[in-house]
């Protein structure tokens, strides 16, 4: 059970690496998009927001090299790359007048016996209490069995949502949601639907899986903790504001248990 003492509702938002970076390149950030999303966050002014971002071209290609070589230097390169993207996000928020701090999973999250152990609660809680947005990211972390492994931004979303009993959870990707076979966005997705649907993965170099893995995690969040999440297109202007404000006209897929 969580014991935090944050006043007001808590939102968790992840912005995918495919939105913030060009996934076809290496370490190529979409700075204008990072700026636009920061402005939208400031515009919506959520009371308590835990922000998570993916790695995109600042992590996936580098992690792929590490997973092959298993060399420490490649693990470090992966962490350094995603830290660089994290700094771009934190700085963009700061430039908009929003207090934000980086929280790097490598320093506070480990994988033990195949289970991910998060030691980030205090940092998140104290940041929120001071009106600071904690900015987490997918990262490479120590593994007790085998060097390092990857914790994805999506896993961090599930962790933060359940620990802080989030009332609004969103995953901003570069597509409008989950599509059915005829290319129409599925507005409401349940566990049964997931078993029936043929949900496609990402087209890019991706060490953490694509849409299918995302939906599976969110279905568990909904089924076990009764927390619904919405998948929407954060590459489209105003959608982050709409999500944070809870606007009904946000196009996306709501994942329920
Ligand atoms: C991946 O995080 C982390 C690393 C590869 C180091 P995510 O899986 O959350 O990243 P995106 O959103 O797919 O880019």
The pLDDT of 124-151, averaged and rounded, is 98
Q: Is 161 helix (H, G, I), strand (E, B) or coil?
A: helix
Read off φ and ψ for residue 116, nearest 5 degrees: -90, 130
Task: Give the domain ranges of the chain.
Answer: 3-255
Segment 74-92, tens digit of pLDDT: 999 999 999 999 999 999 9
CB 60 less than 6 A from any atom of ligand 1: yes
Which ligand 1 atom sits nearest the alpha carbon of residue 208? 8
Of 58, 53, 65, 56, the residue nearest 23 (C-alpha): 56
User: Domain 3-255 - what CATH class?
Assistant: alpha beta
pLDDT for the residue 200: 57
How many Å apart are CA 137 and CA 228, to the nearest integer? 21
- In this structure, the number of other CB atoms found within 10 A of the CB of residue 2 comes to 12
CB 152 less than 6 A from any atom of ligand 1: yes
156 CA distance to ligand 1 centroid (A)? Answer: 11
pLDDT for the residue 181: 85
Tokens standing for 244? 């944070």
pLDDT for the residue 210: 84
The pLDDT of 120-132, averaged and rounded, is 98
pTM tops 0.85, yes or no: yes
User: In whole numbers, what is the pLDDT of the chain averaged over residues?
Assistant: 94
Q: In what order do the strands lie in the sheet with 139-143?
A: 115-118, 109-112, 139-143, 148-151
Which ligand 1 atom sits nearest the alpha carbon of residue 21? 14
Q: Which of 19, 25, 29, 55 to mutate to test the pocket of ligand 1 (most atoms within 8 A of CB)?
A: 55
CB 57 less than 6 A from any atom of ligand 1: no
For residue 56, pLDDT over 90 is answered with yes
């Amino acid at each position: 059970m969580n014991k935090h003492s944050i006043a007001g509702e808590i939102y968790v938002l992840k912005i995918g690496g495919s939105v913030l970076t060009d996934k076809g390149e290496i370490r190529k950030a979409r700075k204008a998009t990072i700026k636009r999303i920061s402005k939208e966050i400031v515009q919506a002014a959520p009371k308590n927001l835990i922000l998570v971002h993916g790695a995109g071209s600042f992590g996936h290609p580098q992690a792929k090299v590490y997973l092959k070589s298993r060399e420490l230097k490649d693990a470090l390169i992966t962490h350094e790359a995603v830290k660089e993207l994290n700094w771009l996000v934190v700085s963009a928020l700061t430039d908009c007048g929003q207090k934000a701090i980086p929280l790097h999973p490598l320093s506070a999250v480990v994988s033990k016996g195949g289970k991910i152990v998060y030691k980030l609660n205090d940092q998140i809680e104290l940041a929120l209490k001071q009106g600071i947005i904690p900015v987490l990211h997918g990262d490479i972390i120590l593994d007790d069995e085998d060097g390092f492994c990857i914790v994805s931004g999506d896993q961090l979303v599930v962790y933060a949502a359940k620990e802080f009993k989030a009332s609004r959870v969103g995953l901003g990707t570069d597509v409008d949601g989950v599509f059915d076979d005829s290319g129409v966005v599925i507005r409401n997705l349940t566990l049964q639907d997931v078993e029936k649907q043929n949900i496609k993965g990402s087209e890019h170099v991706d060490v953490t899986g694509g849409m299918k893995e995302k939906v599976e995690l969110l279905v568990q969040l909904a089924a076990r903790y009764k927390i619904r999440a919405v998948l929407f297109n954060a590459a489209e202007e105003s959608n982050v504001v709409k999500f944070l404000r809870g606007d009904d006209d946000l196009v996306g897929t709501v994942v329920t248990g």
